[in-house]
Amino acid sequence: MAKYLLLKHYRGGPPAACDVPMDRWTPEEISAHVKYMQDFAARLEGTGEFVDAQALAPEGTFVRYDGEGRPPVTDGPFAETKDLIAGWMVIDVDSYERALELAGELSAAPGAGGEPIHEWLELRPFLTAPPTITE
């Protein structure tokens, strides 16, 4: 009954436990990692807790309004930006504890040597619509 965002960062989180970059993994290890993610999403669909999963391209463009009749100003990409979001998964669960449990499982996706990568995931609750009974 509560939605949470599991946010994957390329960087910007606490120091990573696994520092072997993905391009140094074997192709099989990459496939195993991807499969773990897919299986995880499929399992959550099976438990009725899956909402959405998306991956983002690492490079983006900053855009802003620049006044009436003028095209928007763009800037970037900034290769050195501190925080970089890789993608997310959205879950709909009964409790914060369940959200923690699932984030922990997702973080155990295998990496180099087939070992869990212990990736840091950021868990953020959604702001909801106001409950009907508030007063």
- The footprint of another protein (CB under 8 A) covers 1, 3, 44-52, 92-94, 125, 127-135
CB of 10 within 8 A of CB of 58? Answer: yes
| Residue whose CB is less far from another protein, 50 or 88 | 50
Compute φ and ψ for 69, nearest 5 degrees: 75, 0
Q: To which residue do tokens 């106001």 refer?
A: 130
| Residue whose CB is less far from another protein, 3 or 9 | 3
| Residue whose CB is less far from another protein, 50 or 120 | 50
Min dist. Cβ of residue 99 to another protein (A) = 13
24-47 b/e with 16+ CB inside 10 Å = b? ebeeebeeebeebbeebbeebeee
| Residue whose CB is less far from another protein, 83 or 94 | 94
Min dist. Cβ of residue 123 to another protein (A) = 15
Residue at 49: amino acid letter: E
CB atoms within 10 A of CB 91: 23
Min dist. Cβ of residue 95 to another protein (A) = 9
Q: Return the closest-CA partner of residue 108 out of 26, 48, 39, 21.
A: 39
Min dist. Cβ of residue 110 to another protein (A) = 25
| Residue whose CB is less far from another protein, 16 or 41 | 41
Min dist. Cβ of residue 27 to another protein (A) = 31
